[in-house]
Structure 1
């Protein structure tokens, strides 16, 4: 079967004081649990190796800030995760803060069952602010600490199929899924750290879980692909983050979901061939779309002209 049993490894809070080896041990423990579930691939969260440091204000170049970033992957402290994955024969998605050639990225990698890195993605849609906002109860300063991703949304050959990656805020944007869907993605993997209670309107905070599932279920259905999403969640250093890690089928249905705000592994049998009916019949772009019609709409809107009547399409 193409695809197979896929696991999502949600993480509870990571304290600022936790060391890399301590965090890596938590990842390894969940990797072993996933192996017990017969998983062949596991999705870890965004920034899975550290606390969510964009909540604090640092000056760029501050040694404490720089310590959150990885300069190599795997490095001495993360190598045990790769070695364990190779021993177990499990591939994984891992989000982390990357420093390379003077640039800083919110990054995710994809590995195969031998521990070899076969894909990389750098976050495109950076939320939050550059400068702190004293009117808010908390900060979200990703724009301050990360450069915009420069790798696009590539899709890689993995699990006998095509696998793409996204990170957190990317999941809210339809084009994230569409760009990978047009490349034939059969599984989209993503991790997130989504805080609430930073000063956003009450309604936005109250609907955070609804919008989390809404965007991913719509993306999965519209692009006929599986979505496997892992949260870092719970009360981390006094700040609340949503959980609701889940696995979504190409039908848009949630087939597995975490029920806690702690370290938790869920899994589901993800048959890539299950997506083929929807790719072939429902969302077959070549069969059901007329590029010339969409081009005409774009031209008319750009010129301020009224749209043509429906019967002209």
Structure 2
């Protein structure tokens, strides 16, 4: 057996669920500090996505609180414990009622620490939490860096990994997910304009995630927000990318509420890591060379 055939066999054995999966990315404009409104709006849009056939639903980063904090005490007041907080409870209730999986950004309170997190909720309740590893800008004033690593979660709809916004600028995140047998990476995000980019051009964020999907044979679903919050504009352009690196739906608009939905073949995505009879995206890695630079 060739090594790439062995990899395909191992990866295929990790997933006993259905292979066709319908994913939704929810793009909307949270109101800063209005947790009740944001939760209610998110549940409304989750229901819309489910009614259109979505099985996995991704919401934006920090969508229950808003993003632009001004003080750590403000973040502390709006953050919630998981499980038990109002947002994670509401999403657990709607996931149970609809039989869907929800991945959503949330400000997580753990003792005296605050994390920019994503909660993974199934019909059985909270499955797990991902804490953002790479903090952007003044997030470092309000949040602790993530300390839970880059887990992959087993679900009835495949093996799901999570990253948040600026995490997507680090290729290692996607490679670690693929090496752990992930099928899908969900990205709650709050992308902002990049100064070197044309205002009406394609955001670099979409290009980075297309490249990551292609080079790792992963499906990637990015849910961004829109609007202006405390002077900060967000770029929208949510999209769902298949394993080839091309969007199957999106990018969405840059300024409107949208629910985008697409269906992917996870079995085909896993098999795509065999590029031809000689090459496999994971087995062809030269770890003997990369390890030389691992501490740099």
| TM class, shorter-length | 0.7 to 0.9
Paired residue for 2:5?
Answer: none
1:122: which partner in 2?
131
Decide whether the 8 Å contact of 2:225 with 2:234 is kept in 1. yes
| Distance of aligned partners of 1:71 and 1:208 in 2 relative to their CA distance in 1, 3 Å threshold | farther
Count of residues in correspondence between the two structures = 276
Q: Is the 8 A contact 2:104 2:118 kept in 1?
A: yes
SS in 1 for 2:274: helix
| Aligned mates of 2:191, 2:286 — CA distance in 1 | 38
Correspondence 1:266 to 2:260: yes
Q: Which whole-Å CA distance do the structure 2 matches of 1:5 and 1:101 have between them?
A: 37
Measure how far apart 1:259 and its partner are: 2.5
Provide the rounded CA distance (Å) in 2 between the counterparts of 1:17 and 1:157: 33
Residue range with higher mean Cα deviation, 223-232 or 152-161? 152-161
Secondary structure in 2 matching 1:92: strand
- d(CA) in 2 for partners of 1:244 and 1:98? 26
Q: Secondary structure at the match of 2:81?
A: coil
Contact 2:76 2:114 in 1 (8 A): no
Question: After superposition, where does 1:202-221 map in structure 2 within 5 Å?
Answer: 203-204=196-197, 206=199, 209-221=202-214
The CA distance in 1 between the partners of 2:268 and 2:281, in whole Å, is: 18
RMSD: 2.4
Q: What is the alpha-carbon distance in structure 2 between the residues aligned to residue 284 and residue 95 of structure 1? A: 33
Query: Structure 1 residues 195 and 259, CA, compared in 2 at 3 Å: closer, same or farther?
Result: closer
Q: Deviation digits for residues 66-109 of structure 1, max 9, x if unmatched?
A: 22211233424652332122111111001111110221111001
After TM superposition, the structure 1 stretch with the greater mean CA deviation from structure 2, 89-98 or 156-165, is 156-165
Normalising by structure 2, what TM-score? 0.85
Q: Deviations over 1:201-224 (max 9, x none)?
A: 4x2464884311111001111110
What's the offset of the Cα at 1:256? 0.8
Tell me: CA distance 1:183–1:22, structure 2 relative to 1, closer, same or farther (3 Å): same
For structure 1, list consecutive stretches of 5 or more residues without a partner in the other structure: 129-140, 303-313
What do the CA deviations read for 1:238-261 (whole angstroms, capped 9, x no partner)?
Answer: 321110000000000111112252
Q: For residue 307 of structure 1, what is the aligned residue in structure 2?
A: none
Q: Which runs of 5+ in 2 are unaligned?
A: 1-17
Are residues 1:108 and 2:105 paired? Answer: no
Residue-by-residue CA offset, 1:107-160 (whole Å, 9 max, x unaligned) = 001122x151112110001111xxxxxxxxxxxx10111111001111111244
Measured in 2, the distance between the counterparts of 1:167 and 1:216 equals 12
Taking the aligned partners of 2:124 and 2:254, their CA distance within structure 1 comes to 29
Question: TM-score, length-normalised on structure 1?
Answer: 0.80
Displacement of 1:25: 1.1
Query: 1:287 Cα shift?
Result: 4.0
